[in-house]
Amino acid sequence: MFDLHRHLSSASPSHACFYATSRKEEWETVIHAPYGAIGLLPSQLPAGVEELHALLVAHPHLQIGEVGLDRRFPHPDRQESFLKELLRVAVELERSVTLHCVRREGRLLQILRGMERLPRLLWHSFGGSYEVAREAARLDVILSYGPRLKHSKLSGEGKRLTRLPFGLESDHEKPTEDGYPEIWQAHQRWFAELTDWSLDRLVRNNDEKRTILAH
């Protein structure tokens, strides 16, 4: 199954994964991934988006991500302004955006609603309430469910999770591939059992979301 969100490791990037970045030091590597995105965590925001814009123009296959809001880090106003700038860049350059959000779901929805136009959006490792999920879906956001879903209240929604636009991700963050295949496959099997979807159907669904996000 295509992995809608993971991070780089020491292994060569695979054609079966969408690689997001959260630090500037990773950008030069992700450029060479078949499916890659450049982004920054809210703890590492630059003064502007000029460098990201230039890289995106130079590498048309790159998307944007992960970027967003995080209550653990300071300067919420700067986080919001940087996100808005990148959403506008994504619309201008016709790129998708992978969203990062920690305990600021309501404010993220407000920002998305307030944008004149939105790019294609993936909300990575979504674990908010079903009400937030429905609001995001109204904005055509794809909800990406990772292994953390198993330990969230949202998993109690079971089959209802598949009523909204969704995909699956591993969010693999280790520096090596150790354990990756096992964890990724276990997540697929668990989600299939939770929602009564076949693995083949989940594979097709992730392929559809890859097409939406990468083109």
The CATH number of the domain where 119 resides is what?
3.20.20.140
Q: Which residue range(s) make up the domain with 33?
A: 3-214
Within a 13 Å sphere around the CA of 122, how many CA atoms are in the beta-carbon half?
Answer: 34
* Cα separation, 111 vs 130, whole angstroms: 19
Residues 113-138 as b/e (b if ≥16 CB within 10 A, e otherwise) read: eeeeeebbbbbbbbbbeeebbebbbe
Q: What is the pLDDT of residue 115?
A: 97
Per-residue pLDDT of the chain (215 residues; tens, 9 = 90+): 999 999 999 999 999 999 999 999 999 999 999 999 999 998 888 878 999 999 999 999 999 999 999 999 989 999 999 999 999 999 999 999 999 999 989 999 999 999 999 999 999 999 999 999 999 999 999 999 999 999 999 999 999 999 999 999 999 999 999 999 999 999 999 999 999 999 999 999 999 999 999 98
Number of structural domains the chain divides into: 1
Q: What is the pLDDT of residue 86?
A: 97
Q: What is the pLDDT of residue 66?
A: 96
Q: Which of 17, 215, 4 is nearest to 120 (CA)?
A: 215
Q: What is the pLDDT of residue 93?
A: 98
Q: What is the pLDDT of residue 77?
A: 93
Q: What is the pLDDT of residue 167?
A: 98
pTM for this prediction: 0.96
Q: What is the pLDDT of residue 48?
A: 86
* Cα separation, 26 vs 24, whole angstroms: 5
Q: What is the pLDDT of residue 43?
A: 87
Beta carbons of 8 and 29 less than 8 angstroms apart: yes
Q: What is the pLDDT of residue 46?
A: 86
* Cα separation, 45 vs 195, whole angstroms: 38
